[in-house]
């Protein structure tokens, strides 16, 4: 059925939502939310490394870190997850069940699924990792001032 309502999409199964009736735009927006979500997770997790180099980023990282720890500790779902699913639905694509992490990273990080207990462990690991990094940052600055 190529050419009937599709523009350069090829296999329908591989390109759900790739139609000329405007759904492709929704699919692109959903993909943009997906990339933004992944970038936010990376920032919340590793932002302290950027703060090490650029201390003024502290005020951008701490709220992201607090949000990430809270979402995990509360077994919540980030608002970007339902936004992405709604955009995929508008694009004619099937959404997914569960959280962003469980769907997109679950098989890689949590092979048995994302449970509230696992989310607590993630929250504690995220907080501990960043506390360690911030501790190193404070120690480094303290040592540099002491050496002057």
Summary mean pLDDT of the chain: 81
Pick from 116, 120, 126: which is nearest to 66 by CA?
126
Question: Greatest CA separation found in the chain?
Answer: 75
Q: What's the predicted TM-score (pTM) here?
A: 0.73
**Tokens linked to 49:** 């490394």
Residue 84 is predicted with a pLDDT of 86
Residue 66 is predicted with a pLDDT of 97
Q: Enter the DSSP assignment of 47.
A: H
CA 55 – CA 95 distance, rounded (Å): 39
Q: What is the dihedral of CA 46, 52, 56, 57, to 10 degrees?
A: -10
pLDDT at 3 over 50: no
For the stretch 66-101, pLDDT in tens is 999 999 999 888 898 899 889 988 988 876 666 666
Q: What is the CA radius of gyration of the chain?
A: 20
**Tokens linked to 50:** 């950027």
Residue 139's H or E segment, with its range, is helix 116-147
**Tokens linked to 13:** 């199964």
Instruction: Report how far Cα 61 is from the mean position of its chain's Cα atoms.
Output: 14
């Amino acid at each position: 059925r190529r050419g009937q309502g599709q523009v350069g999409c090829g296999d329908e199964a591989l390109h759900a939502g790739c139609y000329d009736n405007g759904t492709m735009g929704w699919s692109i927006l959903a993909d943009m939310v997906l990339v933004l979500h992944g970038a936010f997770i990376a920032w919340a997790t590793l932002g302290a490394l950027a703060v090490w180099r650029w201390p003024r980023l502290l005020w951008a990282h701490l709220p992201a870190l607090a949000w990430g720890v809270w979402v995990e500790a509360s077994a919540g779902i980030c608002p970007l997850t339902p936004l992405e699913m709604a955009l995929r639905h508008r694009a004619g694509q099937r959404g997914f069940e569960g959280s962003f992490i469980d769907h997109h990273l679950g098989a890689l990080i949590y092979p048995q699924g994302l449970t509230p207990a696992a989310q607590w462990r993630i929250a504690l690991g995220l907080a501990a990792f960043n506390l360690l990094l911030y501790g190193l940052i404070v120690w480094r600055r303290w040592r540099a001032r002491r050496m002057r």
